[in-house]
Amino acid sequence: MALAESLTEATGTPMEPETGGILTIDLAAIAANWNTLKRQVLTAECAAVVKANGYGLGLEQVTTTLANAGCTTFFVADLAEARRLRACARDATIYVLDGSTPEGFAAFVALNVRPVINSLTELAEWDAFVAAEKWRGGAALQVDTGINRLGISPEEAAAFAPRTGTENHGITLLMSHLACAEIPDHPLTQSQIKLFRELRMLYRGIPASFANSSGIYLGDTAVYDLVRPGAALYGVNPTPGRPNPMRSVVELAGRILQVRNVAEGQTVGYGATWTAKRASRVVVVALGYADGVPRAASGTDSGAGGVTIVSGKRCPVVGRISMDLACVDVTDLPAGSVHRGDYATFIGAHAGVDDFAAAAGTIGYEVLTRLSARSYRVYRGLEQT
Which residues are known to be catalytic?
51, 270
In angstroms, the CA 243 to CA 273 distance is: 34
| Number of CB atoms found within 10 A of residue 120's CB | 13
List of residues 6+ apart from 54 with CB closer than 8 A: 60, 61, 62, 63, 234
Q: Which residue type, as a one-letter code, is found at position 352?
A: G
Helices of type H across 168-307: 187-202, 213-216
Main-chain phi, psi angles of 205, to 5 degrees: 90, -10
DSSP character string of 134-180: T----EEEEB-SSS-SSSB-HHHHHHHGGGGGSTT--EEEEE---SS
Beta-strand relationship, 250-262 and 226-227: unpaired
- Of 305, 229, 208, 279, the C-alpha closest to 51 is 229
Question: Beta 343-347 vs 250-262: how paired, if at all?
Answer: antiparallel
Of 241, 248, 297, residue with least CA distance to 269: 297
- Cα 224 to chain center, whole Å? 23
For 261, phi and psi rounded to 5 degrees? -95, 135
The 10 Å Cβ neighbour count of residue 337 is 12
Cβ proximity of 115 and 100 under 8 Å: yes
14 CB burial (10 A radius; 0-12, 13-18, 19+): exposed
Interstrand relation of 267-268 and 343-347 (parallel, antiparallel or unpaired): unpaired
256: which DSSP letter?
A: E
Which residue, among 56, 24, 18, has the nearest Cα to 292 in the 3D structure?
56
CA 270 to CA 288: how far, in whole Å? 13
